[in-house]
Amino acid sequence: MSTKEPVVLGIESSCDETGVGIVRGTQLLANAVSSSMDEHVRFGGVIPEIAARAHLEAFVPTLQQALDTAKLTLDDIDAIAVTSGPGLAGALMVGVSAAKALALATGKPLYGINHLVAHVGVGVLEGTVLPPTFGALLVSGGHTEILKVTSLTKDVQLLGSTIDDAAGEAYDKVARLLGLGYPGGPAIDKAAKDGDRKAFRFPRGLSLPKFVGSAENPGKHRNNFSFSGLKTAVARCVEHFEAAGEPIPVADIAASFQEAVVDVITSKAVRAMVENNLTTVLLGGGVAANTRLRELLAARCASAGIALVVPPFSLCTDNGGMVAALGAQLVADGAKPSGLEFATDSSQPVTQIVLTH
Amino acid sequence: MPNYLSIDTSAHASVALIDADTGAVIAAHTSPKGNDQTETLAGYVRDLMADHGQQGPELAGVIVGVGPGPFTGLRVGLVAARTFGFVWQVPVHGVMSLHALAERVLELDEIPEEFIVASDARRKEVYWATYNRQGALTDGPHVAAAATLPALPVYGVGAGIYEEALREAGAAPQPESFAWIAESAYLAKHGLKDLAAGKDLSNTAPQYLRESDAQVPAFMKQAQAKEATA
Ligand SMILES: [Zn+2]
């Protein structure tokens, strides 16, 4: 195989997207995704069992579609990479079992890799050149993290994360409260356009001095997030209008809620970049599509002198291309395959970029 | 002489290599544990094939248990079997997993006129089906509380776990079978009979028998009701 430009097939099944992507070096050849999102709409959130059932049915057709798009056969593939975690356990197991069967049947090496680092790894595709050391902000239905990437294949550190809900989960829950449907991110973003983001002052989680501390003497939650208090505050606000028999100002609440989320995420992320001397930040995860998040993050990065990289939206949501992208970096860097015996790890830490044999 | 690869993960991870002409079991292996399908299955298949010089594309096909069984483990086997079939370009045949237990009953010296096989469905329930003396399915598969089963001899691990409830219901749990789980070698035995009889086994859809746990939350129902009336 070409070790500089390996052809890697990536498999993703950690949540509700079944993804198979193919990458040659840093060039994306295919990115087939089958989503079960429509099946979760009536529940207002991802139902793990529904997601896992859908992965089983979608896997082989999605694999076929990726190969067709790339105009390749399995013989052309040098290695296979699969998300081993973090994610929903039952969903991860479908992708990992499929990947192991594929690796065994084709005789190709298999790499079990970290989903969060793959969100960052997608940044190398399409000619984007990242500096050796940079930061990443991941915001999605399943995660909210600030990372420091010293080496994509060897050294990734978690600077901060949510201690309760992911940002996307908070969006889903608030969207339900406001009767805006699922997924909450786009629904709230849309409703917020006609609203006043200063109408209500909702709490910014973990922003009190006792949690934040100072740069020299950082508090325990300086870079961490919490969205459960915010969600409760929105619920109280809605109840208040209901009890008074008044119409609920949906647009104003949506805009004010979104402002609270985006304000705390961007301020904490930018501060973490500055304090860690990181001059580039990559934004990833499905909530990267949120217009207000991008706007405020761009503004705050600009004033702090930080370069902002946002991959195309189809590569920000969960997909197989990002798994293949990180896989190709690992192969090119001479990483050892993970073998066929590894287990899924629903809370795999970012420090574990690839599972070792 | 082609062989079949047989896989069942409805209980434990279980693999076997079966002679397609004679039905003889060339080799078989079943995990002692019920929760390690993801970790063990591919390695078991690799070892089984390597030990017997078996090339994937030369297989007569893959026979896979479609359940019923705990969902997560069941899917691990099904997605692997379908992937093997896709890569090796060999047919994948789906066989209901309780048939593996019924095949084992047929090896007993005395086979009842009609009998039940039962596996563990958790939540105080069993997956079960009834068979006649020839091993033909007469009812099922179902999932139900052990206490609701008909008054017949009951075989399989489900009979052991719910022995008391079955006895109270008038059924006759058979102690010699209390350790029996679905094994791929027995599964293949049934599959080969079906194939010889010309049955179409191309359906590999899992037999979940239960809806996904999902329930529409109360507040969503309200929201939907509002939408519907709006
Ligand atoms: Zn993700």
CA atoms within 13 A on the CB side of B217: 14
Q: Is A199 a domain residue?
A: yes
A326 touches A21 (CB < 8 A): no
Q: Encode chain A (357 residues) as per-residue pLDDT tens digits.
A: 556 799 999 999 999 999 999 999 999 999 999 998 888 888 888 899 999 999 999 999 999 999 999 999 999 999 999 999 999 999 999 999 999 999 999 999 999 999 999 999 999 998 788 998 999 999 988 889 999 999 999 999 999 999 999 998 899 999 999 999 888 999 999 999 999 999 999 999 999 999 999 999 999 999 999 999 999 999 999 999 999 999 999 999 999 999 999 999 999 999 999 999 999 999 999 888 898 999 999 999 999 999 999 999 999 999 999 999 999 999 999 999 999 999 999 999 999 999 986
- A38 vs B: CB within 8 A: no
Q: Does B48 reach chain A within 8 Å, measured CB to CB? A: no
Given CB atoms, is A106 within the 8 Å cutoff of chain B?
yes
- Which tokens in the block code for residue A223? 């870079």
Do the domain assignments include residue A347?
no
Alpha carbon distance A272, A285 (integer Å): 18
Q: Is B174 helix (H, G, I), strand (E, B) or coil?
A: coil
Q: For A127-168, write each residue's pLDDT tens digit.
A: 788 998 999 999 988 889 999 999 999 999 999 999 999 998
Q: Please indicate if the annotation marks A140 as binding a ligand.
A: yes
Structural domains counted in chain A: 2
Q: Min CA distance, A311 vs chain B (Å)?
A: 31
Show residues of chain B in contact with A103, CB under 8 Å. Answer: 42
Cβ contacts (< 8 Å) between B56 and chain A: which residues?
A: 105
**Cβ-defined contact of B72 to A89 (cutoff 8 Å):** yes
Structure tokens at A260: 């609270």
Residue A281 is part of which domain span?
132-310
Residues A266, A161 share a domain: yes
Q: Is B84 in the A-facing interface, judged by CB distances under 8 Å?
A: yes
Chain A partners within 8 Å of B46 (Cβ): 104, 340
Closest C-alpha among A71, A100, A339, A81 to residue B84: A100
Mutation to test the A interface, candidates B39, B79, B90, B213, most A Cβ within 10 Å: B79
C-alpha Rg value of chain B to the nearest Å: 19
Asked if residue A212 belongs to a domain, the reply is: yes
The pLDDT tens digits for A34-75 are 998 888 888 888 899 999 999 999 999 999 999 999 999 999
A3: buried, middle or exposed (CB in 10 Å: 19+, 13-18, 0-12)? exposed
3-state secondary structure of B140: strand
Residue B155: name the closest of B132, B174, B130, B171 by CA.
Answer: B174
Q: What is the pLDDT of residue A294?
A: 94
Closest-CA residue of B relative to A62 is: B83
Residues of chain A neighbouring B215 (CB-CB closer than 8 A):
43
The answer on pLDDT for B222 being more than 60 is no
Burial B24-52 (b: 16+ CB within 10 A, else e): ebbbbbbbeebebbbbbbbbbbbebbeee
Asked if B208's CB is within 8 angstroms of A53's CB, the reply is yes
Statement to judge: residues A114 and A253 lie in one domain: no
Structure-block tokens of residue A288: 């990267």
pLDDT at A2: 55
Same domain, A283 and A163: yes
CA distance B128 to B177: 14
Same structural domain, A93 and A139:
no
pLDDT value, residue B229: 46
Q: Min CA distance, B75 vs chain A (Å)? A: 6
Tell which residue, B43, B45, B9, has the closest CA to residue B27.
B45
Is residue B157 over pLDDT 90?
yes
pLDDT at residue number A39: 87
- With 0-12 / 13-18 / 19 or more C-beta atoms within 10 angstroms meaning exposed / middle / buried, residue B170 is exposed
Q: Within 13 A of A299's CA, how many CA atoms are on the CB side?
A: 9
Query: Chain A contacts of B71, Cβ < 8 Å?
Result: 49, 52-53, 90
- Chain A residue whose CA is closest to B205: A57
Give domain status of residue A351, yes or no. no
Does the structure show a pLDDT above 90 at B219?
no
B41 touches chain A (CB under 8 A): yes
A229 and A280 assigned to the same domain = yes
Mean pLDDT calculated for residue range B15-23: 97
A199 and A301 share one domain:
yes
Cross-chain CB nearest to A44 (options B71, B82, B220): B220
Q: Do A97 and B214 touch (CB under 8 A)?
A: no
The alpha carbon dihedral of A158, A162, A168, A169 has a sign of positive
What is the distance of C-alpha B212 from the center of its chain? Answer: 19
Residue B226 has pLDDT above 80, yes or no: no
B38 to chain A: which residues are within 8 Å by CB?
A: 93, 96-97, 100, 343-344
CB A70 within 8 A of CB A29: yes
Q: What is the value of pTM for the model shown?
A: 0.95
CATH code (residue A166): 3.30.420.40
Does the CB of A97 have a partner CB in chain B at under 8 Å? yes
pLDDT value at B186 more than 50 = yes
Residue A354 lies in a domain: no
Q: How does strand A134-139 pair with strand A280-284? A: parallel
Tell me: do A122 and A148 sit in the same domain: no
What separation in Å is there between the alpha carbon of A14 and the centre of ligand 1?
Answer: 8
Residues A165 and A78 in one domain: no
Same domain, A91 and A149: no
Contact A93 B76 (CB under 8 A): yes
Are the Cβ atoms of B72 and A96 closer than 8 angstroms?
no
Q: Do A340 and B212 touch (CB under 8 A)?
A: no
Pick from A47, A101, A177: CB nearest B214: A47
B223 has a pLDDT exceeding 60:
no
* Least CB–CB distance from A344: residue in B38, B45, B79: B38
Q: Which of A16, A10, A40 is nearest to A102 (CA)?
A: A10
| Pair A177, A235 in one domain | yes
Residue A66 forms part of a structural domain: yes
- Asked, for residue A349, whether it belongs to a domain, the answer is no
Contact between residue A307 and residue A301 where contact means Cβ atoms under 8 Å apart: yes
Going from the C-alpha of A11 to that of each of A340, B159, B177, the distances in angstroms are 15, 40, 41
pLDDT of residue B228: 47
Contact pairs from chain A to chain B, CB under 8 Å: 113
Regarding whether A304 and A192 lie in a shared domain, the answer is: yes
Q: Is there a contact between A50 and A95 (Cβ–Cβ < 8 Å)?
A: no
Asked if A179 and A302 sit in the same domain, the reply is yes
Strand partners, A308: A281
Closest residue of chain B to A46, computed from CA coordinates: B214
In a domain, A110, yes or no: yes
